[in-house]
Structure 1
């Protein structure tokens, strides 16, 4: 048995937790409404204060989520008329030319937040206990999408670097995984190179050990039979400083691999499109909710992956295409024992021309990351779930993993 929990109305005016078994849990459901506010699409939790922070169009809400919904703070964040006018002049609608909050990151006693700001994204640092107190404001380019329809993900490391995966331009044709702020040089994925990123929809990101991991779905360049979307795990070294002559201002450690979630059989039934993830750091375990392609019959599945399985694939051979007419073939990993930390920050002693050439052309791994068990933990037809959360509960004799799955009505979902 399961309950599917829809958190937030995207274009509605309520933040609610409406479960399929709502009749039974109705006494524990609390609803929050704010007049004139829409698009409750960004939520983050401050465990130190046991508070839920809600980002919405026009307004950034700060709430406490404990037994009942009590709104503690509300900070308005509007677009100015000049910025709106510029947005209108570029053919965008009144609805699009608002400020949709797309980044909410708790960083110590500060809240780093970014909004689309009528297709002119901006970011602010605010005091967590007083959201109206803005310490600084910076450009949101490469940190926040221009278009509220575009998926993105971002995180801040303990050393202060911001990693964002988002569209870099107004048109949304230049997606990138980009590092900024902090003490390391800004880096990005190669521009306009489909072998690095091919019309991606970014899902999530995690700071794990020496790496930053990104999870997304994209059009599969290695698939020759029509357009197909595959799910990916990608990573970069956090101490990457970019290349010299080759790959300047570009990642030298970027690699990606396909994630497999499928119903086994003589002809496997694939759930190709990753929609949401949940990482359990203590167990080094990643849960993902996958769906079928949008043009096929709707279906969803939950698969779980060990971090060690992802690491193993990144140590194996690459999948390489010599030119656009040749086949994709496995190519031995020139550095199968690669680990972060081999680059001495401030020098380029290990960035040889050969290493940089390899880093420029070897991006996609040949092997596919397989789930812990071949059969998905959960499958359901005629529905596309969008988010997954996991709680680990101690039972009498063993630990139980409780899955919470959510779906958003297509009519309300602005994020594709």
Structure 2
């Protein structure tokens, strides 16, 4: 690529700026092929029938946002708007509906949602936001439930979903967001659900919370502002003794300079039981740090979208991508 000729006019200066910017954005190559980037988690070769792109559509349903693969890899559970589906995916490229169960928000909750000035056309529904495998016989799921989060267990019979009983529906505050537009994350570890979401109707109180299981329910302290009010969660990844949460928020440490949005990682210990006098029912092992995602000579990547745990040669040295 030739360097643009310089002149004294502004257009030449603009051309030089764009040229330098393009040089930064172009991927660098290593002579001899010595450098190797991150390897993909799944790899298919040309001609492999599993590469077939498949589409699934069910009339009357939308917002297929939450996915869960069964342990044997034969069934894909899908959380949609006011319904949960079980898809048979044993035949590559041909997903087949095994069965579907409805889970709509009640008429009373929808009326309350509309009364609070939310849209009864796009918001006042039950959007499934959490769908995890609790054990071999049950799934655990949570939804927005018309801005009144709710959770329940779903019984499985030969990977088929059994209907939900209304008397088994529980409050889901702190596990599912109120607003379907808010980002969230949840992971089930040793029978306990670790979730990151918004904890109030206004969407101004982010929370990291542990529920279910035999351990005490713990959460972050909103009064101490452990999280900025605009925190947005993207992933939760368990490790041997801790659980990591990945999110983005406005960095309060730079308030003197400007409102800087940054990526974060937070950590809590699995054996945390909360404080005895101080921090009762609160995390005592909560720590967070800024994620420095950048490459030499390039701008930092301060907007995080997802994080996954990569297989490692040693279980004591996992890598997060």
TM tier, smaller: 0.7 to 0.9
CA positional deviation for 1:220: 0.7
TM-score by length of 1: 0.60
**Matched residue, 2:305:** 275
Query: Superposition pairs for residues 38-77 of structure 1, below 5 Å?
Result: 38-66=62-90, 67=92, 68-77=94-103
Residue from 117, 140, 145 that aligns with 2:145: 117
**For each residue in 1:244-301, what CA deviation from the matched residue of structure 2 results, as whole angstroms up to 9, or x when unmatched?**
2211111110001111112322xx41110110111124351111xxxxxxxxxxxxxx
**Matched residue, 2:20:** none
**Matched residue, 1:337:** none
**Runs of 4+ with >4 A deviation:** 24-27
Structure 1: gaps spanning 5 or more residues? 1-23, 288-416
CA positional deviation for 1:27: 8.0
2:197–2:208: 8 Å Cα contact kept in structure 1? yes
Residue from 221, 228, 252 that aligns with 2:284: 252
Query: Superposition pairs for residues 163-242 of structure 1, below 5 Å?
Result: 163-223=194-254, 224-242=256-274
In 2, the alpha carbon distance for the partners of 1:99 and 1:91 equals 17
In 2, the alpha carbon distance for the partners of 1:206 and 1:62 equals 25
In 2, the alpha carbon distance for the partners of 1:192 and 1:281 equals 38
Residue from 120, 136, 140 that aligns with 2:172: 140
**Matched residue, 1:107:** 134
Query: Which is strand-richer, 1 or 2?
Result: 1
CA positional deviation for 1:86: 0.7
CA positional deviation for 1:25: 8.9
Residue from 82, 98, 114 that aligns with 2:125: 98
CA positional deviation for 1:49: 4.7
1:211–1:236: 8 Å Cα contact kept in structure 2? yes
Residue from 143, 161, 165 that aligns with 1:131: 161
Residue 81 (str. 1) matches residue 81 (str. 2) = no
In 2, the alpha carbon distance for the partners of 1:117 and 1:38 equals 15
1:122–1:140: 8 Å Cα contact kept in structure 2? yes
Q: In structure 2, do the counterparts of structure 1 residues 192 and 39 end up closer, same or farther at CA, with 3 Å as the change threshold?
A: farther
**For each residue in 1:301-337, what CA deviation from the matched residue of structure 2 results, as whole angstroms up to 9, or x when unmatched?**
xxxxxxxxxxxxxxxxxxxxxxxxxxxxxxxxxxxxx
Q: Relative to structure 2, which stretch is displaced further, 77-86 or 27-36?
A: 27-36
**Bigger radius of gyration:** 2
In 2, the alpha carbon distance for the partners of 1:191 and 1:234 equals 15
Secondary structure of 2:152's counterpart equals strand
Secondary structure of 1:44's counterpart equals strand
Secondary structure of 2:148's counterpart equals coil
Q: In structure 2, do the counterparts of structure 1 residues 89 and 48 end up closer, same or farther at CA, with 3 Å as the change threshold?
A: same
- Over the aligned positions, Cα root-mean-square deviation in angstroms equals 2.1
**Matched residue, 1:328:** none
2:275–2:282: 8 Å Cα contact kept in structure 1? yes
1:198–1:221: 8 Å Cα contact kept in structure 2? no
**Matched residue, 2:24:** none
**For each residue in 1:336-357, what CA deviation from the matched residue of structure 2 results, as whole angstroms up to 9, or x when unmatched?**
xxxxxxxxxxxxxxxxxxxxxx
**Matched residue, 1:400:** none
**Matched residue, 1:325:** none
Secondary structure of 2:221's counterpart equals coil
CA positional deviation for 1:64: 2.0
2:101–2:163: 8 Å Cα contact kept in structure 1? no
In 1, the alpha carbon distance for the partners of 2:238 and 2:142 equals 20
TM-score by length of 2: 0.77
**Matched residue, 1:10:** none
Higher relative contact order (CA 8 A, sep 6+): 1
CA positional deviation for 1:113: 0.7
**For each residue in 1:15-52, what CA deviation from the matched residue of structure 2 results, as whole angstroms up to 9, or x when unmatched?**
xxxxxxxxx99981221111111111111111325211
